[in-house]
Amino acid sequence: MSQGEEEQRNLEQAVAGERVGYRRPPVGTRFRPGQSGNPRGRPKGARNLSAVVAAALSERVAVNENGRRRRITKLEAAVKQLVNRAASGEARATQLLLALVQANEAGPAQQDANRLGEADAIVMAELTRRLGERAS
């Protein structure tokens, strides 16, 4: 649109009594009801990396186990392979498996400790003291 046409349009709007200015765009350039300002925008349901990884690990695959065909998740299949490689004596697989087991055992204990209140902590300390005396 040329500058002359824009001036003509502004003049027509002023004549029509329409106020144009800060936060009052001309009627012709306003969004129509139901029309988004960014129609293509961010796609709905865009997933982050952890969601993509979780979805991939939860997919099911067919495996032959003890002569029978079963459908298990990819996560289960990966863990089975890791355990089998560790059992066959592969050092790196054994290290990974032990680290995985330790991380799994440490996780819930930390969460439980965080959920304890002050009174619960006192009771747990007292029980630990009493059980320590019995063991001696």
52-67, pLDDT tens digit by residue? 999 999 999 999 989 9
User: Which residue in this structure is represented by tokens 């952890």?
Assistant: 50
Domain assignment present for residue 97? The answer is yes
Range of the domain at 135: 92-136
- Position 15 confidence tier, pLDDT thresholds 50, 70, 90: low
Same domain, 75 and 63: yes
Q: What mean pLDDT is reported for the chain?
A: 83
Please say if the pLDDT value at position 20 is more than 60. yes
**In a shared domain, residues 70 and 101:** no
Query: Please, which residues have CB within 8 angstroms of residue 60's CB and are 6 or more apart in sequence?
Result: 71, 72, 73, 74
**Of 45-59, 100-114, 121-135, minimum mean pLDDT range:** 100-114
CA dist 2 and 130 (Å) reads 89
Q: What are the DSSP E strand ranges found in the chain?
A: 60-65, 68-73
- Please check whether residues 96 and 79 belong to one and the same domain: no
Same domain, 97 and 131: yes
Q: Give the total number of structural domains in the chain.
A: 2
Would 114 be classed as within a structural domain? yes
Is 74 contained in some domain? yes
d(CA 93, CA 86): 5
For the record, the structure tokens of 13 come out as 């709007």
77 plus 116 within the same structural domain: no
Nearest to 87 by CA among 72, 99, 97: 97
